[in-house]
């Protein structure tokens, strides 16, 4: 079983995000970039399937600038077999990403696509669902447990009311949640080995996909600063403030 794992280059989750002074977007100058945390979980799950002999090959794919090779090399160091970079310096919207991944799926013929449920930069939570719709494949989103069976995969997913388990026929798309696993750290020998693993560089034009944006960002602003809390001297005062100031009662 071949597994395809899309990964995205995003601002590291430990970095405080700064908005540009002209409010046209987020400042990326001299900012540490990393693999999207949810995608790390997806890579780990795919590598575990590989180690369990359930999967035969894990292919990592990323859509982004030249430097996205760093995140692909990280995926290779974690255990992926090879990688594909679809190189573009343009901002790519979720639908365009899904169309590019559809083209990759048609070329690579994977039986399973495992990807993060969302990227921490735009929080769209759309690409996995769009890819499943475009391919006509079943999907299991927000996965907290994945078990491969005979021609099927069982996905336990986190929903508002608790947990739900679905059985998907292959090929299928799975999006990962935080509690699925804990990604491994790549060892130095594996980092060195990753440098020799194949990494193909393509462009959107190679797949015949138009990535022209359909949305326009009007303005990006920082959230309003939270005002300081106040102490009240009685329950009656608290209820009054909740009712008349906060408007929650």
How many whole angstroms separate alpha carbon 135 and alpha carbon 156? Answer: 22
- pLDDT for res 39: 96
234 occurs within a structural domain: yes
- pLDDT for res 200: 95
Report the CATH number that the domain containing residue 208 is assigned in CATH.
Answer: 3.40.50.620
46 occurs within a structural domain: yes
214 occurs within a structural domain: yes
Quote the domain boundaries for residue 140: 2-244
Consecutive H or E run containing 166: strand 162-169
Contact present, 119 and 233 (Cβ < 8 Å) = no
CA distances from 86 to 47, 66, 125, 126 (A): 22, 9, 21, 19
- State the total domains in the chain: 1
249 occurs within a structural domain: no
192 occurs within a structural domain: yes
51 occurs within a structural domain: yes
* 26 DSSP assignment: B
How many whole angstroms separate alpha carbon 190 and alpha carbon 74? Answer: 9
CA distances from 240 to 1, 178, 228, 244 (A): 62, 40, 18, 6
Pairing of strands 9-11, 33-35: antiparallel
How many whole angstroms separate alpha carbon 233 and alpha carbon 221? Answer: 37
- pLDDT for res 71: 95
54 occurs within a structural domain: yes
- pLDDT for res 230: 84
Per-residue pLDDT of the chain (249 residues; tens, 9 = 90+): 999 999 999 999 888 888 888 888 888 888 899 999 999 999 999 999 999 999 999 999 999 999 999 999 999 999 999 999 999 998 899 999 999 999 999 999 999 999 999 999 888 999 999 999 999 999 999 999 999 988 899 999 988 888 999 999 999 999 999 999 999 998 899 999 999 999 999 999 999 999 998 888 888 888 888 888 888 889 999 998 888 887 777
């Amino acid at each position: 079983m071949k597994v395809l794992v899309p990964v995205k280059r995003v601002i590291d989750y430990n970095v405080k995000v700064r908005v540009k002074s002209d409010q046209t977007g987020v400042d990326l100058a001299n900012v540490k970039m990393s693999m999207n945390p949810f995608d790390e979980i997806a890579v780990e799950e795919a590598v575990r399937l590989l180690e369990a002999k359930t999967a035969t090959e894990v292919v990592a794919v990323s859509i982004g600038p030249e430097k996205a090779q760093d995140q692909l090399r990280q995926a290779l160091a974690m255990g992926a077999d090879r990688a594909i970079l679809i190189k573009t310096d343009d901002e790519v919207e979720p639908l365009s990403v899904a169309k590019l991944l559809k083209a990759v799926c048609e070329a690579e013929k994977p039986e399973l696509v495992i990807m993060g449920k969302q990227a921490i930069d735009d929080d769209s939570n759309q690409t996995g669902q769009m890819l499943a719709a475009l391919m006509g494949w079943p999907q299991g989103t927000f996965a907290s447990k994945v078990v491969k069976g005979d021609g099927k995969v069982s996905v336990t997913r986190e929903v508002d009311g608790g947990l739900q388990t679905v059985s998907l026929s292959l090929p299928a798309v799975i999006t990962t949640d935080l509690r699925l696993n804990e990604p491994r750290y790549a060892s130095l020998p594996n980092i060195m080995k990753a440098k020799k693993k194949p990494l193909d560089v393509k462009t959107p034009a190679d797949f015949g996909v138009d990535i022209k944006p359909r949305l326009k960002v009007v303005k990006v602003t920082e959230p309003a600063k939270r005002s300081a809390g106040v102490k009240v001297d009685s329950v009656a005062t608290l209820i009054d403030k909740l009712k008349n100031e906060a408007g929650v009662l």
